[in-house]
Copies of this chain bind each other. A is one copy, B any other.
Amino acid sequence: MSVVTPPAGSTRAATIYDVARLAGVSHQTVSRVLNDEPGTRAATRERVRAAIASLGYRRNSAATALASRRSHRLGALVTGMLESGPSKFIDGAATAARQAGYVLDIVSLDHTGRDATQATDLLDQHDLAGVVILAPSDQVHAALATWRPRVPVLVATALEDDHTDPDGHTGNTAATRAAVEHLLGLGHTRIALVAGPDHWASAAARTHAYHATMAAHRLPSLPVIPGDWSARSGHLAGHALDPTTTTAVLAANDQMALGVIRALSERGIAVPEAISAIGIDDIPEAGYFLPPLTTVHLDFHGYGHHAITTLLRTIDPVGTRPTPAPEPPRLVVRASTAPPVASAATVAAPAVR
């Protein structure tokens, strides 16, 4: 891990004036060539291009930004980068940004929203063309409420999106519904939820969707078992589960589902024979759990990509290519779910076989 510093006496970087002199044109002509503006003869353009190449000229984006009052930088205010969802989102966003010739400035924030002011200061300061906020927490929302950004802002995973929009923009609602209905379809009626942390918007959306789906099928929700996305919290939840009143568990993400399965295994409760377990997200490892986890695939990479292109479209309506829509949530049935056994567990509903 060593730092390589460029040679100290390295010559000053070339400017458009240097290029202009070498090509025998005015600096404005160089500017025109750089920006693909009309008004230069093909021959001139070629001469300029050659000069650019021979000098190794790179445009100075600070000067460009200053003069044009535009920049090719996008900000991303991010919470929970370590979670698999957010990190895939960022990857998709960074990729989309780069494809469009932008860089993504990452400003990470913890979920408490502490230092939110410092973060928004940074964003305000660094002349960005737009900002994507992936701040799934209420507290971050609150901390950001007073912020008056000067550039277009896209808030991904906002609470309201998922509650009001039946399609669930970030897929939370649709994914949760798919999971619950899969269990319902197998014949389960006593379905427990291990929820994500309340203050995360997507956790709240999933919890909400669980209740809504159960209600839509005229089934009572079971008391929600709280979790914090981690396998550890799923493990705790799995120990708290009452196998006499529950035949299936929906964990709000795959990591918690893993913890639940391990807890049940410790208690000698077989999955899926005694209790079915299902997750949400479809992390790459989910298919290799014991048993392989039934879950709902979510296209976080696509959401990130889509967020950036959506943002870019309002910044630069003409220059932005249409973006492929993210894939809708997709149920992936593996081996952790099965029909309930006709046993004491099915207290309320008559056993159907």
User: Contact residues of A with B, CB < 8 Å?
Assistant: 1-6, 10, 13, 56, 58-63, 65-66, 71-73, 75, 78, 81-82, 87-88, 90-91, 94-95, 98, 101, 103-108, 115, 118-119, 121-122, 124-127, 130, 148-156, 158, 161, 169-170, 230-232, 234-235, 255, 258-259, 261-262, 265, 284-285, 287-290, 292, 301, 306-307, 310-311, 314
Contacts and interface: CB of A to CB of B under 8 A. Distances in A.
Contact of A66 (B66, B115, B125, B161): B66
Given A121-B58, A154-B3, A284 B231 contact: yes
Contact of A6 (B5, B151, B155, B259): B151
A154 B103 contact: no
A73 B105 contact: yes
Contacts of A61: 62, 125-127
Contacts of A130: 3
A289 to B, nearest CB: 8
Contacts of A90: 81, 87, 106
Nearest to A229: B284
Contacts of A235: 288
Contacts of A126: 61, 72-73, 103
B1 A310 contact: yes
Nearest to A75: B103
A154 B5 CA distance: 9
A63 B60 contact: no
Instruction: Kindly report how many copies of this chain are found in the complex they form together.
Output: 2
Given A98-B119, A290-B290, A5 B81 contact: no
Chain A interface helix/strand/loop/mixed? mixed
B88 A153 contact: no
B155 A2 contact: yes
Given A106-B90, A119-B98, A259-B288, A314 B58 contact: no
19 contacts: A1-B307, A3-B154, A60-B127, A61-B62, A62-B65, A62-B127, A87-B87, A87-B90, A98-B107, A98-B108, A105-B105, A106-B106, A231-B284, A231-B288, A235-B288, A258-B289, A261-B290, A285-B285, A289-B290
A19 to B, nearest CB: 15
Contact of A1 (B5, B94, B170): B170
A122 B103 contact: yes
A4 B265 contact: no
B169 A1 contact: yes
Contacts of A105: 73, 103-106
A193 to B, nearest CB: 19
